[in-house]
Every structure is written in structure tokens, then in C-alpha cells.
Structure 1
Amino acid sequence: MGVADEPIAIVGAGAVGGLIAAELHAAGNRVTMCVRRPFDRLVVDREDAPREFAVAPPGLAVATSPGDVRPVRWVVVALKAQDAAAAAPWLARLVGDGTTVVAVQNGIEQRERLEPHASGAPVVPALADTAVERIGPGRLVHRGGELVTVADAPGMAGFARLFHGGALRVVLEPDFTTASWRKLLANIAANPLTTLTGRRMEVFTDPGIRALALGLVREAAAAGRAEGARLADDEAERVLARCDGYPPDAGSSMLHDRLAGRPLEHDALTGAVLRAATRHDLPAPLNQAVLALLAALDGAP
């Protein structure tokens, strides 16, 4: 079971944040979800073991205003990268003595994005390897993936223990640079190509899309190695193998955002690759072209 005397706040209870909230609550923790619109049930639909939890404080609570919360030991920020600034009013109220902020976001710049808004609390980056879709307030579809990778930092073993008894597996990673680049490589293949084509993971059965994905990942892997990530020579082929392992009807988070009319996360993914490539004078023409297309799509009326 979790550590029930250490209250936890989840800022951004969308797909990933909602799943984390559900599993922390299932493990016996007191969880407050900080959201824009209230809901009275948290439902996680999955084929093997669907879960449904009533919102009933103090075990599971919903807050819609920063004025409704107080400092807690742990804050999980699961907002999309482009929405990081929206965490500031919540963190101003949630951070107190001894608070740690765990940033569960895509990309390689989690700490840099959130530290300006964290009210002085330490920010520990984390990655979620899950196929989960938010289909409505408090309603999720979890198609697979139960891994959360957290940078190994002082005190984080206590955070991992909070999940004992839930379905998510939390791993403390001493080489978070490599782990974050590996996740980024998968993201810069799956997210842009599903979004630009409007198709789900089955799109990777198309030979032309596979070739483009390999090119994107090879450019990014070169930038990652220059940044200190320990990436294999065949990292691109491994990424495609991982993509093949997802259910064909699974979508990417960026595709879900496009279909819902929400802003896209392209700058935190493909943009981060280009910034790293520029730092090391490495060419990345495929990623540059994809970023231009995503930016145009994001800005379309």
C-alpha cells in the first residue's frame, strides 16, 4: 500500500495525470486532482481490469481553484509542456517546506520548463510510458503501458513507494539523460507522424512512413549522443520495433490533442531535437521540415 499520511496533488488530471491519480488512490494514498472542470467519478477503462473511483475527499478529491488547496509533500505536474506556465498558481499554493515537484512531461527539458514556476521547490523530471487517452472529464481509456521512469534523486525512493499496490511500475533511473532521449526518440516518430497523417499507430505499417520515421529518429539520435545520451547504433530500428508493439488502434498524445482542437506539443518534442542539433552543429533537415508542418497545423484556423 501507499504512504497515506503524505498527501499528493496532481496538477493536470488529463490522460497521464488521471491515470497516475487513479493508481495512487488505488494504492491507498490521499490524492487531490487540480483541474479546470470538476467531475464526480474517475474512470479508467481497460480491457483486463477496468477501474472506477468515486471522488470522495479526503481519499480522492477534486480542486478547481488554487485557493482550495494547501501545501503537500508531493506535487505531480502532468500538464502538457506548452501548458507548463499554467501550473504556477497551483504551485504557489501547493509548495511548502519539504515539497517535491515531479514533472511527468514529454521531452528533455522538464526541469527547465517548470523550475521558474515551482516556488523554489526541487523539480524532478519523470516520463510516463503509457498508451492512455482522455475521452472526457474523469474518463480515460488505458490501452497499455504501465511504466513511469523517474530521475533518481534524493528522497525519490519514497515517491516510488507511494505506488506500491497500484498497477503502475515506477523505476528510479540514474541515467535519466539516456532514458529521456530514448523516450524522445519514440515521441518524435509516433507523435508527429500520427498527427500529420491523422492516423493511429497502424500508420507505421506503411513503408514510406516507416522510412521517414527511421530518418527522423536517426537525426535525433545523433543529437542525443552529442548531448551525452548513451544510445545504440541501431536505436532507430529499436524505436520502430517499440512502435510495432503498440495496439494498432492506439493514438499518440499529439494526435489526441489535434482531434480535440487543443494546442500541439511539437516544440517540446521536435523543437527540442532541433535545439540540441543546433548546439552541436548537426544537420536535422527531416525534423526541421516536420516541425514547420506541425507549427503550421497548430496555427491553422
Structure 2
Amino acid sequence: MKRIGVLGLGAIGSVMSRILVAHPENEVFYYTRTPKSKIKIQFQNKKIEIPIETEKERSEELDWLLICLKEYHFDAANDKLAKLIRANTKVAVIRNGIELKERITPFTTKENILECMIDCPTQPIEDNYYLQFRKPVLKVEQSELAKRFTQLFTKNDAQIIEVLDYKTENWKKLIESSALGSILCLTGRTCSVFENPEVIGLYKDLLREGIEVAKSDGAIIKSSFESEMMEKISTYSKTKGSSMLSDRLTGNIIEVNAKNGAIEKVAVQNKIATPINDTICKLLRQINQN
């Protein structure tokens, strides 16, 4: 039996909890700021409710802790992290941004931390359900720790992809999600906004700035990446949104520092000019102050 904690029961934490409990060898513990009695997911036209006990007592240390917090929740979670992460606890960090180990190294060694990128569109709907659109795909750096992480899930509930160059894969996702998410968030519209050629031009400019910053950080971005992203944007449904847009519409804090702010930080460090992304950061932070 593996003892697994899930810290943060928002959209991604709820999805990960649902697929963890499907494995008969997992005992799952739940930790969240807002107490819940159920995890509620709608997936493949089925409504799933999982009764849970948050803050359930346990006498032994966790084998794994999955951290599904947003970037701005970490400062308030330090005491909880210190309590939950013990000497042999392995930690998977599943959130937006780069350098995900940085916030966890005060509590354990880097060898015990697995950075995870997740692609699993999920959004809140009525009656406190989360609508999960498809099976989660997680990318992790190829390692023995990654193989052990894969064993936490049943075969068909999640796709875990081990990659050799995690930094590049992480940057590619950050460039795409920050450009798309910030535009949707600032306009307050779904991908229908890309019917406007000027908005498409803005998206392209943000991609180019992000690519230059990523290269300065050692990511290997092929010359075809920009055209691939431009082609991809043309395939999106007009109703497609983003987590940044959802946060704005629901009055939640927007993850500026994990997305456009992460690009801004590295750009400053490496002296790369990113005037458009800088402006985007200022506007998003202004929304958070309102």
C-alpha cells in the first residue's frame, strides 16, 4: 500500500485525486485550505463523487506528496509542506511555470522532487463540479523517480511521458500558455478573439519574445516551433478558454508570476528585451490589485 497525499484540491488536484483512488494499492490523504467532503468531477458524460476526509490523521510518513497548488498559494503553505514532507517522502509538483523544484528544496533534496507538466483541460461548472475534458497527459524528466511515479496510476487513467530534455518541453508549454492565456484574460474572450488579425499578430509577437528568452535559458527551440504554434491556434474551437481567463471571470487571482512573469524574470536576468510581455505583466498585475 502506498500512502499518497494531495495538497490542493482545485481543478488539477481533484483530477489527480480521482485517478489516484482508482489504483487499489493507493491510500490517499487530502489537504486543502477549504475543507471539502467530496471531490466532484464530470468526465466522459459521467458525474463522479468521491467522499473524502480532509486532514485525515496518519501515523506514518507519506510515500508521495502531489502538490497541486497555484504559484501564489505557496507562501501560505510553508508550514503544511514542512509537516507533510519527511525524509523519504517523494514529491511531485504539478503546476504552471518553470523551476518548480525551487519552492520545495527547503524541505527535501532535489533528488526527491519530480517536476510535472500537465495537459488536462478542466474547468469549474455548476454545483461545485469540475468538468474534465480529457485524460491527463503529464510530462516528466526521464528518471527512476519518474518510473516510480508512473506506478501510482492504473494503465488507462493517465498518460505519463518521460522526456530527455524537460527544460525545453517546459519552456515550450510556458511560451504557448502564457501567450494564449494572457490574451484571452485581458480581452475577457475565448479563442474567438483570434478572428481578429491584429490579435493574431500580438500572439505571434509574444511567441517570438518567449522563444528568445527560452533560448537564453538553454532551451532548444526549433525554428519550426513558431509556425507550429500559429497553425495550432487556427485549429482551436472558438469557445476554448484558458485557466487565466477562468480565473479572471471567477474573480480569482491570475497566475501572472507562474506564466508571463516567469518569462519576465528570466528576460531580466539574461538581458533580453521583451517589451510586449512586460506590458502584459503590468496589465495582469493591475487586474490582481483591483
Give the structure-2-normalised TM-score.
Answer: 0.90
SS in 1 for 2:18: helix
- The one-letter amino acid of 1:76's match is L
Q: 1:200 to 1:144 in 2, by over 3 A?
A: farther
Aligned residue for 2:147?
Answer: 157
Q: 1:181 to 1:99 in 2, by over 3 A?
A: same
Q: How many pairs are equivalent?
A: 288
Task: Supply the distance in 1 between the matched residues of 2:117 and 2:223 (Cα, whole angstroms).
Answer: 23
Does residue 1:42 correspond to 2:32, yes or no?
A: no
Per-residue Cα deviation, 1:129-185 (whole angstroms, up to 9, x for no partner)? 111113478621112362111223332201112122342211122211011101101
Q: 1:14 to 1:285 in 2, by over 3 A?
A: same
Task: Supply the distance in 2 between the matched residues of 1:62 and 1:187 (Cα, whole angstroms).
Answer: 34
Does residue 1:265 correspond to 2:255, yes or no?
A: yes
Task: Supply the distance in 2 between the matched residues of 1:69 and 1:103 (Cα, whole angstroms).
Answer: 24
- The one-letter amino acid of 2:283's match is L
Counterpart among 41, 55, 62 of residue 53 in structure 2: 62
Give the structure-1-normalised TM-score.
Answer: 0.87
Per-residue Cα deviation, 1:76-95 (whole angstroms, up to 9, x for no partner)? 11111111223322222222
Structure 1 residue 244 displacement after superposition: 4.3
Structure 1 residue 49 displacement after superposition: 4.8
Task: Supply the distance in 2 between the matched residues of 1:293 and 1:15 (Cα, whole angstroms).
Answer: 25
Does residue 1:219 correspond to 2:209, yes or no?
A: yes
Counterpart among 111, 122, 125 of residue 132 in structure 1: 122
Aligned residue for 1:27?
Answer: 23
Task: Supply the distance in 2 between the matched residues of 1:244 and 1:6 (Cα, whole angstroms).
Answer: 44
Contact in 2 for aligned 1:9/1:72 (Cα 8 Å): yes
Does residue 1:209 correspond to 2:199, yes or no?
A: yes
Does residue 1:79 correspond to 2:66, yes or no?
A: no
Counterpart among 171, 191, 196 of residue 181 in structure 1: 171
Structure 1 residue 114 displacement after superposition: 2.9
Contact in 2 for aligned 1:23/1:166 (Cα 8 Å): no
SS in 2 for 1:42: strand
Aligned residue for 1:58?
Answer: none
SS in 1 for 2:93: strand
Contact in 1 for aligned 2:206/2:276 (Cα 8 Å): yes
Counterpart among 46, 63, 87 of residue 97 in structure 1: 87
Per-residue Cα deviation, 1:8-65 (whole angstroms, up to 9, x for no partner)? 111111011111111111233322221123333322213x35251331xxxxx33248
Task: Supply the distance in 2 between the matched residues of 1:51 and 1:137 (Cα, whole angstroms).
Answer: 11
Q: 1:125 to 1:211 in 2, by over 3 A?
A: same
Q: 1:148 to 1:49 in 2, by over 3 A?
A: farther
Task: Supply the distance in 2 between the matched residues of 1:209 and 1:113 (Cα, whole angstroms).
Answer: 35
SS in 2 for 1:150: strand
Q: Percent identity of the aligned residues?
A: 25
RMSD (Å) for aligned C-alpha atoms: 2.3
What residue ranges of structure 2 are gaps of 5+ in the alignment? none
Q: 1:248 to 1:30 in 2, by over 3 A?
A: farther
Aligned residue for 1:52?
Answer: 48
Q: 1:184 to 1:219 in 2, by over 3 A?
A: same
SS in 1 for 2:62: coil
Does residue 1:248 correspond to 2:238, yes or no?
A: yes
Contact in 2 for aligned 1:111/1:123 (Cα 8 Å): yes
Task: Supply the distance in 2 between the matched residues of 1:209 and 1:49 (Cα, whole angstroms).
Answer: 34
Q: 1:71 to 1:283 in 2, by over 3 A?
A: same
Contact in 2 for aligned 1:35/1:62 (Cα 8 Å): no
What residue ranges of structure 1 are gaps of 5+ in the alignment? 56-60
Per-residue Cα deviation, 1:103-138 (whole angstroms, up to 9, x for no partner)? 11111121113323x355732211111111134786
Does residue 1:88 correspond to 2:78, yes or no?
A: yes
